[in-house]
Amino acid sequence: MTRLLIAFATAISLVLPALPASAQGGSIARQLARTGLTQDDINIMTRAGSELYASKKAVVGVDTIWSNPDTSAFGLVEVADVEGNCVTLVYKFQTSKQPSIQSVRLRRCLNDGRWVLTP
């Protein structure tokens, strides 16, 4: 479990490099650790979500699907809110370890050319 938590915290730090170290081990990492997502799942899910806002033209309601055939995890990422230079995404997914649909809501803001996690 500790190794898994470290892997998730590492994934978050790679995806969100401007997030302070103290926050990386916080509630998001704990939340992801309970999901059954693997490192590869997180990478695939994050890449899919980033395509929705990378062009800086995110539109509420637009979504994309992702899947990882190696782990049988799959899901949907949807733009839930756009406000100024910030976008809120809702990640809905299912893993083989947690067969019920799970959801994580994250907000990212463009700061000096980089998308960073914000409360």
Domain ranges of the chain: 2-118
Q: Which residue has the higher pLDDT, 12 or 62?
A: 62
* pLDDT attached to residue 71: 96
In this predicted model, what pLDDT tens digit does every residue of 23-58 receive, in sequence order?
A: 444 577 777 778 999 999 999 999 999 999 988 889
**pLDDT one-digit tens code per residue, 91-111:** 999 999 888 999 999 999 999
Cβ-contact 95, 101 below 8 angstroms:
no
- One-character DSSP codes across 80-118: EEEETTEEEEEEEEE-SSS-S-EEEEEEEEEETTEEEEE
The model carries a pTM of: 0.74
Residue 4 above 70 pLDDT? no
